[in-house]
């Protein structure tokens, strides 16, 4: 039966202020490996939500043993430490350099734009040559990806040890490079390295990805505790690499073949100063943690730590998503001046504040400033200029406590 209509309802959305799920912890591991016995295809990235997903493609501990690779190990380490992350695996042919596979990596990134960072493992490059290639990797991978609108928060390289022993004093100073998005890990779980001579010089790329993926974008990768722990770690006040139950990072060293017990405090300071990422213990602490989150660039750079790049890139993505719908839209003018109307400026400013407030509320930045000057004449040849500054969180690397005794307060 037809009826007269008096009142219309429209379901409103957005009043609760909910946002879409964050995709900060999505990474890809590019592994030079044999794919014999698996259903993987060279150059095709596959998405994994847990280690068991790799088993569907035939990547298991037995696969690693049969092919002398650590593909499953790196994958399982990421998910051990970051069980809620997403990891893509991109297999490439074994015994090739990173540079020769950058084009394949770029193709995979274009098809999977949610990826925020990359780890490279299993390649022939080692510490004798890799440090000379960092700037080229920054230019050929990170900069080229940026031209496609893909901003990589980080690129983790496996700093394999050399066939001949290398002294810490002879390691190159990575701060002399111009690679602000590249980091080199030399941490090694010696129990894994001992499984096969083929693994003796490996570095823990999978664990590094996991420790990035479990953290807020503003957290240092070497932090002793983290802000949002996996459920099985909620009762602990630290979040180490070490897991006695899993038998991981109990016996720790670096990819040069040395154990951490063999290194002096002076050598550890030297490694840290030269920006290598390793795993070590704190005084009176049995567990191991990553040393820091440096990138291969001078300390004077604003982007000399992974968390700074992650923070900047996240803000860029939010701003881009906010402003893109306004591109080529009409811009009302103040008829008396010809400048952009203040109501339009206020609208743009409100939209940007709403986007950046997400980062403030998530405790990813301390604050921000915006400046949208209305006295502009935007057209095809003149962009509308906006100034934005983020107040990045600081990181406390150590405490200095003056402790004494007294007779009374």
| Residue 22 near residue 114 (C-beta atoms within 8 A) | no
Give the model's pLDDT for residue 23: 85
pLDDT by residue (tens digit) across 28-57? 999 999 999 999 999 999 999 999 999 999
Give the model's pLDDT for residue 163: 83
Confirm whether pTM is higher than 0.75: yes
Given a cut of 70, whether residue 22 has pLDDT beyond it is: no
Using a 10 angstrom Cβ sphere, with 0-12 exposed, 13-18 middle and 19 or more buried, the burial of residue 356 is buried
Which helix (H) or strand (E) segment is 290 a member of? strand 289-290
Residue 330's SS3 state is coil
* Range in 100-104, 178-182, 220-224 with the lowest mean pLDDT: 100-104
Please choose, from the candidates 98, 185, 96, the residue with its C-alpha nearest in 3D space to the C-alpha of residue 140.
98
| Residue 192 near residue 97 (C-beta atoms within 8 A) | no
Four-point Cα dihedral 147, 153, 155, 156, nearest 10: 180
Residue matched to tokens 């107040």: 391
Given a cut of 70, whether residue 206 has pLDDT beyond it is: yes
Return the bridge partners of 389, or none: 369
Q: How far apart, in whole angstroms, are the C-alpha atoms of residue 64 and residue 298?
A: 38
- Residue range 290-295: mean pLDDT, rounded: 97
Q: Which two tokens stand for residue 30?
A: 């590019």
Q: Which residues of 332-350 are buried (b: 16+ CB within 10 A; e: fewer)?
A: eeeeeeebbeeebbeebee
Q: How far apart, in whole angstroms, are the C-alpha atoms of residue 78 and residue 83?
A: 8
Confidence of residue 13 (pLDDT cuts 50, 70, 90): low
Q: How confident is the prediction for the chain on average, in pLDDT?
A: 93
Give the model's pLDDT for residue 19: 52
Give the model's pLDDT for residue 284: 78
> How far is the first Cα of the chain from the last one, in angstroms, to the nearest whole number?
87
pLDDT by residue (tens digit) across 329-382? 999 999 999 999 999 999 999 999 999 999 999 999 999 999 999 999 999 999
How big is the CA angle at 36 (ends 103 and 46), to the nearest 5 degrees?
Answer: 50
Q: How far apart, in whole angstroms, are the C-alpha atoms of residue 344 and residue 350?
A: 10
Give the model's pLDDT for residue 9: 64
Give the model's pLDDT for residue 45: 97
Which residues 6+ apart lie within 8 Å of 375 measured at CB?
A: 337, 339
Higher pLDDT pick, 10 / 122: 122
Q: Where are the beta strands (DSSP E) in 140-283?
A: 154-158, 182-185, 187-189, 252-254, 276-277, 279-280
Give the model's pLDDT for residue 10: 61
Given a cut of 90, whether residue 78 has pLDDT beyond it is: yes
Confidence of residue 12 (pLDDT cuts 50, 70, 90): low
Q: How far apart, in whole angstroms, are the C-alpha atoms of residue 184 and residue 101?
A: 18
Give the model's pLDDT for residue 397: 87
Give the model's pLDDT for residue 3: 64
Please choose, from the candidates 253, 38, 44, the residue with its C-alpha nearest in 3D space to the C-alpha of residue 159.
253
Residue 329's SS3 state is coil
Confidence of residue 6 (pLDDT cuts 50, 70, 90): low
Q: How far apart, in whole angstroms, are the C-alpha atoms of residue 122 and residue 101?
A: 12
**What are the distances in angstroms from CA 223 to CA 57, 183, 226, 391?**
34, 17, 7, 20
DSSP summary character for residue 251: S
**What are the distances in angstroms from CA 241 to CA 75, 77, 249, 393, 398?**
15, 10, 6, 24, 19
How do strand 117-121 and strand 154-158 relate by DSSP bridges?
parallel
Q: How far apart, in whole angstroms, are the C-alpha atoms of residue 36 and residue 69?
A: 11
pLDDT by residue (tens digit) across 267-279? 999 999 999 999 9
Residue 102 main-chain phi, psi, to 5 deg: -65, -40
Please choose, from the candidates 347, 225, 383, 363, the residue with its C-alpha nearest in 3D space to the C-alpha of residue 289.
225
Give the model's pLDDT for residue 214: 97
How do strand 289-290 and strand 279-280 relate by DSSP bridges?
antiparallel
- Residue range 142-150: mean pLDDT, rounded: 96
Give the model's pLDDT for residue 96: 81
DSSP summary character for residue 139: I
Confidence of residue 292 (pLDDT cuts 50, 70, 90): very high
Give the model's pLDDT for residue 98: 84
Q: Which two tokens stand for residue 341?
A: 């109307």
Q: How far apart, in whole angstroms, are the C-alpha atoms of residue 134 and residue 176?
A: 10
pLDDT by residue (tens digit) across 309-339? 999 999 999 999 999 999 999 999 999 999 9
């Amino acid at each position: 039966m037809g009826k007269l209509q008096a009142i219309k309802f429209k379901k409103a959305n957005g009043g609760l202020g909910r946002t879409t799920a964050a995709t900060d912890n999505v990474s890809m591991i590019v592994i030079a490996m044999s794919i014999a016995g698996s259903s993987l295809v060279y150059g095709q990235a596959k998405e994994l939500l847990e280690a068991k997903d790799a088993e569907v493609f035939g990547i298991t501990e037995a696969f690693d043993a049969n092919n002398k690779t650590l593909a499953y190990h790196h994958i399982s380490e990421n998910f051990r430490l970051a069980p809620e992350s997403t990891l893509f695996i991109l297999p490439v042919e074994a015994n090739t350099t990173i540079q020769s596979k950058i084009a394949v990596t770029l193709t995979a990134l274009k098809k999977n734009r949610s990826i925020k960072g990359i780890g490279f493992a299993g390649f022939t490059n080692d510490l004798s040559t890799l440090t000379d290639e960092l700037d080229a990797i920054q230019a050929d991978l990170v900069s080229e990806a940026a031209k496609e609108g893909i901003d990589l928060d980080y690129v983790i390289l496996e700093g394999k040890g050399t066939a001949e022993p290398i002294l810490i004093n002879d390691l190159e100073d990575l701060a002399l490079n111009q690679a602000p998005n590249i980091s080199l890990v030399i941490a090694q779980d010696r129990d894994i390295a001992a499984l096969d001579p083929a693994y003796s010089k490996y570095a823990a790329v999978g664990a590094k990805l996991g420790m990035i993926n479990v953290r807020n974008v503003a957290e240092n990768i070497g932090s002793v505790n983290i802000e949002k722990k996996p459920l099985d770690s909620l009762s602990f006040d630290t979040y180490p690499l070490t897991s006695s139950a899993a038998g991981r990072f109990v016996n720790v060293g670096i990819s040069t073949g040395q154990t951490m017990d063999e290194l002096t405090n002076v050598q550890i300071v030297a490694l840290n100063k030269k920006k290598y990422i390793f795993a070590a213990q704190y005084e009176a602490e049995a567990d191991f943690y990553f040393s820091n989150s440096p990138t291969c660039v001078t300390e004077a750079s604003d982007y000399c730590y992974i968390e700074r790049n992650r923070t900047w890139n996240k803000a860029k993505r939010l701003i881009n998503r906010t402003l893109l719908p306004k591109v080529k839209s009409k811009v009302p003018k103040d008829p008396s001046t010809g400048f952009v109307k203040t109501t339009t400026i206020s609208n743009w400013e409100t939209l940007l504040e709403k986007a950046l407030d997400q980062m403030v509320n998530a405790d990813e930045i301390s604050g921000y400033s915006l400046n949208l000057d209305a006295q502009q004449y935007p057209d095809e040849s003149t962009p509308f200029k906006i100034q934005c500054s983020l107040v990045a969180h600081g990181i406390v690397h150590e405490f200095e406590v003056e402790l004494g005794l007294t007779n009374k307060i």
